[in-house]
Structure 1
Amino acid sequence: MAQDEKTGSDTVTGAPCWVTLLSRELSTAQAFYSDVLGWTYRDTSLGDNFCVALTNGSPVAGIGGVASSLQVAAAWTPYFAVADVDAAAARIRERGATVAVGPLAFHTGRAALATDPDGAAFGIWEGAVRSDWTVGQGSAPAWLELRTRDAPAATRFYDEVLGWSGDARSALSPAYEDGNAVLRQHGHMVARISEGAVPASADPQVRPRWHVYFRVPEVGASVAAAVAAGGGLVGPATEGAQERDATLRDPDGALFTVTPA
């Protein structure tokens, strides 16, 4: 989990606290996302294979060129804050899911990479979190979306593992809105769980997974830049003359979605 020095201790347990791209080669990923999303980068204390992506000097995400060494697919992955990563990992296993990597120790905390019962990958993080990063605000991603087979079952799983509704003092509040489970932090949406995914599908858009949405000034320009930089368009970008979300693939195969700012 590639963080840098500006961290704080005010952790909202269960909330998204960072997103990380596991890529095969850091320099290739940096060049692609610079072209497509306009990011710049800052080194971290985790070594030469990690960096923090910035937009207008503010943190967006972590990128690590370690997918091959960890023997996992290149992918964007959300991390959720937990008070005790070992206890959370145990809850994940008890509920029929998998802890694929870790827990591993980093200089500011400990992390593990897991998959939920339907196979969607996510991370858990115990430790310091960025004090200037909240999904839906500032430079952070616009929102996260889990597309899964059974939204109520998935919501129960994450609630039990992450404690979304277990503390009356919590800043988190899960609820059902328009048929989707929506997680709000201090009143604004940070994650949505919708159903209809098919675990056995060959289409990565249809398989259960967490989608990370990034705001961009012009969706069409980001799509064109992605294709020119060796990536591709996975989901449609336009509906008539109206721009809408577009799902893109980077050169390593990691999927992400751009949405109008």
Structure 2
Amino acid sequence: MNDDTPASGGPRTRDIISTHSVFGAPCWVSLTSRDLEATQEFYSALLGWRWRGAKLGEHFRIALADGVPVAGIAAVAAMWQMAVAWTPYFAVPDADEAVSRARERGGTAAVGPLSFPPGRAALLADRDGATFGIWEGELVGNWEAWRRAAPTFIRLKTRNAFDSALFYGEILDWASGKPGCCEVEYEGGEVVLRSRGDVVARIDSGAVESAPDPTVRPHWQIHFAVADVPGCARTAEKHGGSVLSEEEDEAILRDPDGAQFTVTSRRSR
């Protein structure tokens, strides 16, 4: 993920970190969309992102926050018959092994592993239907800068947090004791994932697999840190998005294309 991420690009840098030394943690987020220009305009207005191209072609862009690449946009939803959605990618040392482990435990592989030099990627779904990606290869060069400029964290809404933690732990080597692995804790009824001491993901129970409301079905939710949650909610509405729920420090939003995400106050990080 040095110059191009799984579906949407990453930064060039001299300081290369590989998934062989850092693994199991979220390492990128990407958005599939239908309209590249409209998507860029919306997230620029909402989050102040700037953009650059990606080697994968004219349908791909890389989002920059204060010059740091933080996310990828791929306008391929219609072309590749894919859902419009934000997807987290997790670092793995071996994509083939991770896919095999997922299948053995009841998950499915929708795409890949495919080669995206300098690495390989696959798009998977866990046994409750939540979609996620894996990446083997070079990570965003200044990975710590990405972690602080990118999402506050990601959250899995699932049927059973303990069961999901076992599923992902066996695929991604969480709490395995291997150098560089993620740590798993249970706090207040939810699973908390830490990488190098930082909270990078949470897993909550209570999702309903067959619920008509997509916010209730099992899914990974991307959280972006902002200074003004109510202001973001009003900006989203002004630029064609919608507000699914809103509190003082957190709001679930939907962009004009239908992709769901959360904005979280920096005060609550």
The answer on 1:257 being equivalent to 2:265 is: no
What does residue 108 of structure 1 align with?
A: 118
What does residue 22 of structure 1 align with?
A: 32
Of 52, 66, 76 in structure 1, the residue corresponding to residue 86 of structure 2 is 76
Counterpart-to-counterpart distance in 1, 2:79 and 2:211 = 27
Query: Which SS does the other structure have where 1:191 is aligned?
Result: strand
**CA positional deviation for 1:134:** 4.4
Letter in 1 for 2:12: E
**CA positional deviation for 1:137:** 4.2
Comparing 38-47 with 131-140, which one deviates more in the overlay? 131-140
What does residue 3 of structure 2 align with?
A: none
From the superposition, tell whether residues 134 and 193 of structure 1 become closer, same or farther in structure 2 (CA, over 3 Å).
farther
Of 13, 16, 30 in structure 2, the residue corresponding to residue 8 of structure 1 is 16
Of 139, 159, 182 in structure 2, the residue corresponding to residue 149 of structure 1 is 159
Give me the TM-score of the superposition, normalised by structure 2. 0.91
The answer on 1:196 being equivalent to 2:201 is: no
**CA positional deviation for 1:9:** 2.8
Query: Which SS does the other structure have where 1:43 is aligned?
Result: strand
What does residue 63 of structure 2 align with?
A: 53
What does residue 230 of structure 1 align with?
A: 240
What does residue 132 of structure 2 align with?
A: 122
What does residue 218 of structure 1 align with?
A: 228
From the superposition, tell whether residues 137 and 100 of structure 1 become closer, same or farther in structure 2 (CA, over 3 Å).
closer
**CA positional deviation for 1:86:** 1.0
Contact 1:61 1:140 in 2 (8 A): yes
Contact 1:136 1:190 in 2 (8 A): no
1:227-247 CA-partner distances (Å, limit 9, x unpaired): 111110011x23xxxx22101
Counterpart-to-counterpart distance in 1, 2:194 and 2:24 = 11
Of 36, 50, 58 in structure 2, the residue corresponding to residue 40 of structure 1 is 50
1:93-130 CA-partner distances (Å, limit 9, x unpaired): 11111101111111211101111000000000111101
Counterpart-to-counterpart distance in 2, 1:80 and 1:89 = 12
Give me the TM-score of the superposition, normalised by structure 1. 0.94
**CA positional deviation for 1:205:** 1.2
Unpaired runs of at least 5, structure 1? none
What does residue 183 of structure 2 align with?
A: 173
1:165-208 CA-partner distances (Å, limit 9, x unpaired): 22342342111111111110111100000100001111111111
What does residue 209 of structure 1 align with?
A: 219
Counterpart-to-counterpart distance in 1, 2:196 and 2:177 = 14
What does residue 186 of structure 1 align with?
A: 196
Q: Compute the RMSD of aligned alpha carbons.
A: 1.5
Counterpart-to-counterpart distance in 1, 2:250 and 2:134 = 27
Contact 1:147 1:193 in 2 (8 A): yes
Counterpart-to-counterpart distance in 2, 1:204 and 1:151 = 18
Contact 1:59 1:133 in 2 (8 A): no
Query: Which SS does the other structure have where 1:118 is aligned?
Result: coil
Counterpart-to-counterpart distance in 1, 2:54 and 2:237 = 29
Letter in 2 for 1:8: I
Counterpart-to-counterpart distance in 2, 1:57 and 1:85 = 29
What does residue 31 of structure 1 align with?
A: 41
The answer on 1:163 being equivalent to 2:168 is: no
